[in-house]
Chain A
Amino acid sequence: MVFRSEEMCLAQLFLQSGSEYDCISELGELGLVEFRDLNPSVSSFQRRFVSEIKRCEEMERILGYLLREIQKANIAVPEEDESPLAPPPRQVLEIMEQLQRLEMELSEVAKNKEKLRRNLLELTEYTHMLKITRTFIHSRSRHEALGPQYEEFPTMETDSVSGCTGMQRLGAKLGFVSGLIQRVKVEAFERMLWRVCKGYTILSYAEVDENLADLDTGEISKSVVFLISFWGDQIGQKVQKICDCYHCHLYPHPENDEERADVLDSLRTRIQDLNNVLHRTEEYLRQVLQKASESAYTWVVQVKKMKAIYHILNLCSFDVTNKCLIAEVWCPVSDLANLRGALEEGSRKGDATVPSFVNRIPSNDTPPTLLRTNKFTSGFQSIVEAYGVGDYREVSPAPYTIITFPFLFAVMFGDLGHGMVISLFALWMVLTEKKQNKKRSSNEIWTTFFNGRYIILMMGLFSVYTGLVYNDCFSKSLNIFGSGWSVKAMFTNQNKTLQTNALLTLDPNFSGVFSGPYPFGIDPIWNMAVNRLSFLNSYKMKMSVVIGVVHMSFGVVLSVFNHLHFRQKFNVFLLFLPELLFLLCLFGYLVFMIFYKWLAFGARDSSQAPSILIHFINMFVMQGKDITPLYPGQMGLQIFLVIIAMLSVPVLLLGKPLYLYWLYRGGKGLRRRRGYERVRRVSEDDNSTAPSYEDDEEEGVDEVTNREFDFADVLLHQSIHTIEYCLGCISNTASYLRLWALSLAHARKFSTNNQFTLSFLCSNATLC
């Protein structure tokens, strides 16, 4: 990360048609350049390499299916450290073939498995049905022995086509229909049967113990085996229809016990065979998936890279006469050598007769902003970019954020003990980062913490420091140097005072009570004082204002570097100076008053110590004759400062527009360039000017020739900037008080927490 974003140049790449794929692959691996779209008017379906992209997408689809199957089988996909390169076009067909074959195999095996499963289910249901209907028949025969409650069922001949058995003797056929139905439908089924068949059917049913999976929906539900016995053919048809309607699985009902036993036996062997086959099929599937999973990751990355390369190739324009592709890229100037090297490498790999080359061209467009980051600075850069990306060659605030962001956090957090805990946690994350990177956890919260590990480490370290200064370690204070307040000096031989009062205050006016400020941080006696917050509030509020004003001035000063870089020296006088004066005359003076009061007023004249806030307010209202001044000459100085601040506002508002208008009209600063004129856009933000070349040393702003200088526009922009700045000064200074507020909240929360936790731990300890 550097002071400002890198210098970029526009370059043209001439890629020979044989080796363009390899050249782009090399460039992609290095990640050097940004391609511009040379075919903006062409829709994505008409571009040159559409068919290749379609092929890549087809492969991606197959890979997606493959990965899903692998995941379903709970096989882990090994991921390698280095990502493989994009495959050359001839290898692509191989991969495509492999993938298609795999897909076919997988779908076939899956289909077979499905069929086998269904078969198995049928056989299982049949077995259950046979077993359970056996109990029906036998229970009925038991009932028969008690008394003739049912009709006699003499031996029958089978009529195996429809699964019914007929009874010839009575001249009417007795039919049986047996099968399985879902548990939830049984009552409705029974009712329907009763209504339709008008009592000519008998339904008996019993629940199956085992839970069978319904293959169509994948649910596991309870089924019920039923046996319907009925008289007559027509009733038989009606019963069939009703069974179809309720989606019952019907199976042929055996006549007698021997047949039943035979069928049961054959079923058993068939089920066993099926189980075997199913088992083998699953094993085979697993093997196939295992083998595929080894190269699945490689394929995924390769296909992705290939697709990216074809997308980039689509952005290039095809120069038919020269038989080569032309691409326009933005490249950092410092990386031009690397770019040339990459092209040479790509040409070599692609076996091109003529190597590809690069040609730098001048441009008036604003190049993109490039800020290189490493693993430490990337977190801070992303925080800064959340507020907006800087313009080309603008000063980047990110290197300062590395320190100020954790520092301001620590001012609000300020606890030695908790800071150490945070630092250790972050340190652990940093030291094991290689391992954690490999693990690639899917937990989002953990990923967030891990990506910000350096930020958290900095925050923890600064919190340790601010915790030392606030003298706050798990809400307790450390007494390292010896307190500056002495109780003995104040209360010698005053037992009576001690007995009659519950609360007494140390008075620094007495000699010996206060022996000097604690050398590092807040005195530990304040932790035990009842009026601790009065002191701390005053201290922390003033500290917040001081830190805020210093921080804001730093930011304003940084803008000077922008003005100087973009060769707009007039901005220094017309923008920077009024801004700085406004800020310092008002809030800088407030900071001065804070320091003055700390240094000049002590315990002796504490009764006359003035309130800074009242003085500050009086400064604006230009009153204050009735209160004692802080120092002689205060009134005069304050009026002077207020006038300067007030005057800087119109300068800020009107200075720049009027100056630019004067230039436009042909003021003294007009300069014509020899030979050619360059058009520069003059905008309010000072930062979007075209890149200046090193040999053009020129002050001021070139005249705007081809564009109308819109005074109203410039004035509007400048007035918005002025109002924003002035109001922002005031409100931002006040908002720094959050440093006080949050550190107060933290201290309170953890002091109450501590009491609770400590008492809880103690009670637990006594119990054990």
Chain B
Amino acid sequence: MAEMGFAIAVSVMTLFWGIVGGVVPWFIPKGPNRGVIITMLVLTAVCCYLFWLIAILAQLNPLFGPALSVETIWFLRYHWP
């Protein structure tokens, strides 16, 4: 179950940034700014994907958990599913 959630998240994000960085550049109309726009799209895709990837990989196998105060624990026990 956990694996599936992780797999879905990874595939969705990879697909999304892959489209932004790899597919959309082909559709930019020819003009003086085509080169700049394509550079911007590719770089944005790479940076944002890498940033998200680091965030999710860092949490994949946590070595320790959050330390919560007792009030927080009471609250979360009843309010979070």
Chain A interface (Cβ < 8 Å from any Cβ of B):
1-3, 374, 377, 399-400, 402-404, 407, 411, 465-466, 469-470, 482-488, 491, 498, 501-508, 513-523, 525-526, 528-532, 534-535, 538-539, 542-543, 546-547, 550, 595, 598-603, 606, 609
Contacts and interface: CB of A to CB of B under 8 A. Distances in A.
A513 B58 contact: no
A503 B56 contact: no
Given A483-B80, A504-B67, A517 B59 contact: yes
15 contacts: A399-B39, A403-B39, A403-B43, A407-B47, A487-B80, A504-B67, A517-B56, A519-B6, A525-B68, A539-B55, A546-B54, A598-B57, A600-B61, A601-B63, A603-B64
Nearest to B63: A606
A516 B57 contact: no
B55 A522 contact: yes
Interface in B52-74: 52, 54-70, 72-74
Contacts of A523: 59
A603 B63 contact: yes
Contacts of B51: 407, 411, 465-466, 469, 543, 547
A687 B4 CA distance: 52
B60 A598 contact: yes
Contacts of B72: 528
B66 A521 contact: no
Q: Across chains A and B, which 3 residue pairs bring their CB atoms closest together, nearest first? A: A529-B66, A516-B2, A602-B61
A400 B55 contact: no
Given A525-B76, A535-B64, 6 more contacts: A520-B56, A528-B72, A530-B66, A530-B69, A531-B66, A603-B61
B43 to A, nearest CB: 4
B41 to A, nearest CB: 9
B2 to A, nearest CB: 3
Interface string B1-36: 111011011000100000000000000000001011
A505 B64 contact: yes
Contacts of A542: 54, 58
A469 B33 CA distance: 30
Contacts of B73: 487, 491, 498, 504
A377 B40 CA distance: 11
Contact of B70 (A402, A403, A503): A503
B56 to A, nearest CB: 5
A513 B2 CA distance: 12
Interface of B: 1-3, 5-6, 8-9, 13, 33, 35-36, 39-40, 43-44, 47-48, 50-52, 54-70, 72-74, 76-77, 80-81
B67 A529 contact: yes
Given A3-B35, A465-B48, A547-B50, A513 B65 contact: yes
A544 to B, nearest CB: 10
B52 A521 contact: yes
A606 B36 contact: no
A139 B48 CA distance: 94
B47 A403 contact: yes
B65 A505 contact: yes
Contact of B62 (A411, A543, A546, A603): A603
Contacts of A601: 61, 63
A189 to B, nearest CB: 79
A410 to B, nearest CB: 9
Nearest to A530: B67
Contacts of A600: 61
B43 A400 contact: yes
A504 B77 contact: no
A733 B52 CA distance: 21
Contacts of A482: 81
Contact of B47 (A2, A404, A539, A602): A404
Could you say which of B35, B48, B54, B74 has the most chain A C-beta atoms within 10 Å of its C-beta?
B54
Contacts of A528: 66, 68, 72, 76
Contact of B57 (A3, A595, A602): A595
Given A486-B80, A488-B77, A498-B74, A514 B65 contact: yes
Nearest to B6: A516
B59 A484 contact: yes
Contacts of B1: 515-516
